[in-house]
Amino acid sequence: MIPDLEQTFRWFGPADPVTLPAIRQTGASGIVSALHHIPCGEVWSAAEISARHDMIKNAGFRWAVVESVNIHESIKLGRPERDQYIENYLETLKNVANAGIHVVCYNFMPVLDWTRTHLDYRLANNASALRYEASAIATFDLYILEREKAFDEFTDEQQSAAKQYLDSLSAQETKLLTRTILAGLPGTDEVFTIAQFKEYLKKYSETDADALKNNLFYFLRAIIPTAQELDIKMCIHPDDPPFPILGLPRVASTENDLTDIVNSCPSSSNGITLCTGSLGARADNDIPGIIARLGQHIHFLHLRNVKRESNGSFYEAEHLAGSTDMYQVMKAIINEQLQREKAGRDDIAIPMRPDHGHKILDDYNYNTYPGYSAIGRLKGLAELRGLEMGIKRTLI
């Protein structure tokens, strides 16, 4: 019998209202964490890593994955200072490897990490979900950010729908939408101001998707040989949402992108975080097919589901519901495990985490990071491990 996927849970650190003892009760054995308090670009010292590691170990867990060591904007922009930041990144990787952690997640999304327009979208059963509404993004882009080029990117019809949407918002709602879109890195409370965000957009005005991809390849070629020596598996997280927004370019949105990335610097250390939620926001991403074709490069699994609506909007559905067929996804993952077993690989128990969860039941009593409720995620994890067990028992 092949081993189970390693069940993990994201923990944002001591300030996370979902505590390690609470996570123990979910049945997860691995923790996914990062030193969110260290500013992006600075070295994570051995002492800081070991303090976090002790907390995780003492609570009875393995620190399975670092998510994320974030990439400094100068690397994404290809600025001369990037070499210094790459040095810092390598130093962090060395310290992470010395602590015995061997999977590192990162993303290459300019400025903003994942982006939503609504953090408390109520479903029919009153569960609270995250939502991305295309007309809300258009409204923000055209009439709040007032990005000039946006007027060439949206049709007249879209522009008038966006105007209507704007008129329907109270001052309070406009503020909330702005805050929601401009929220910065996960695990922080940082929110960009419109002025700061405009500054960033200016910096990106000369970096299109090709340039951004080249900057990613430069980064990978600089770090992957060392990562390989350190036995660290790097795994890029797909763009979320997986298409350009607010004039910012995208490089990890489709199967072609992911193929380009793994081919740019072939190595078992140059891999992918397979996020079914991010990739699933595009109907043309065939996720079981991506797993079948790129499976050997997958070092980390984010399992969640989105329900796609017309015109690019989506909301986060229950883990086994939504537009992605999780049965087919899980089957493809198990098939990849079988391939690994045949190839004699030692990474068959791929770490997976239930990504995001609805707010349900007692979750409303805690001020958790958006998407990171305890019970909602536990429900997702329970469903996913049941699905995994069911398929394994019938197929194998």
Q: Dig out the tokens for 313 from the structure.
A: 């909007």
Asked whether 314 and 306 are in contact (CB, 8 A), the reply is: yes
Quick one: 113 or 255, whose CB is closer to ligand DNO?
113
36 is a catalytic site residue: no
Annotation marks residue 302 as catalytic: yes
186 binds ligand DNO (CB under 6 A): yes
Torsion over CA: 42, 44, 47, 48 (sign)? positive
Q: Which of 113, 325, 347, 383 binds ligand DNO (CB under 6 A)?
A: 113
SS3 126: coil
In the region spanning residues 249 to 278, those forming contacts with ligand DNO, defined by CB under 6 A, are 275
Which residues, other chains included, contact 90 with Cβ-Cβ below 8 Å and sequence gap of 6+?
222, 223, 226
Is residue 299 part of the annotated active site? The answer reads no
Nearer to ligand DNO, 105 or 329 (CB): 105
CB atoms within 10 A of CB 370: 17
Cα torsion angle, 35, 39, 44, 50, sign: negative
Tell me whether residue 237 or residue 340 sits nearer to ligand DNO (CB atom): 237
Site mask, ligand DNO, residues 331-360, x = CB under 6 A?
Answer: ------------------------xx----
Q: Which residues, in sequence order, are bridge partners of residue 270?
A: 234
Q: Take residue 15 and report the two structure tokens written for it.
A: 């300030």
Using DSSP's 3-state secondary structure scheme, residue 231 falls into coil
**380 sits near ligand DNO (criterion: CB under 6 A):** no
Q: Quick one: DSSP state of residue 209?
A: H
Distance CA 122, CA 169 (A): 18
Cβ-based nearer residue to ligand DNO, 56 or 69:
69
Q: If binding is defined by CB under 6 A, does position 237 make contact with ligand DNO? A: yes
Our answer to whether residue 356 is catalytic in this structure is yes
> Interface with ligand DNO includes 75 (CB under 6 A)?
no
Q: Does 371 bind ligand DNO (CB under 6 A)?
A: yes
Nearest to 301 by CA among 7, 2, 66, 4: 7
- Stretch in the footprint of ligand DNO (CB under 6 A) among 80-88, 107-115, 249-257, 386-394: 107-115
- Segment near ligand DNO (CB under 6 A); pick from 20-28, 105-113, 134-142, 248-256: 105-113
Residue type, 150: A
Nearer to ligand DNO, 11 or 106 (CB): 106
| Minimum distance from residue 187 beta carbon to ligand DNO (Å) | 8
User: Considering only residues 26, 29, 95, 107, which one is a binding residue for ligand DNO as defined by CB under 6 A?
Assistant: 107
What is the per-residue DSSP string for 52-95? HHHHHHHTT-EEEEEE--PPPHHHHHT-TTHHHHHHHHHHHHHH
Query: Site residues for ligand DNO, window 278-307 (CB under 6 A)?
Result: 302
Closest CA to 300 of 351, 259, 224, 234: 351
**Of 36, 53, 118, 237, which residue is the catalytic one?**
237
DSSP type of residue 39: P
- Choice between 114 and 314, CB closer to ligand DNO: 114
Query: 67: closest CA among 22, 24, 8, 124?
Result: 8
Could you tell me the smallest distance in angstroms from the CB atom of residue 111 to ligand DNO? 12
Q: Judge whether 366 counts as a catalytic residue.
A: no
- The answer to whether residue 355 is catalytic is yes
| Count helices and strands in the chain by DSSP H and E runs | 15, 12
Region from 103-111, 205-213, 314-322, 331-339 binding ligand DNO, contact rule CB under 6 A: 103-111
**Which residues belong to the active site?**
237, 275, 302, 355-356, 372
Judged by the rule CB under 6 A, the positions of this chain that interact with ligand DNO are 67-68, 105-107, 113-114, 186, 237, 275, 302, 355-356, 371
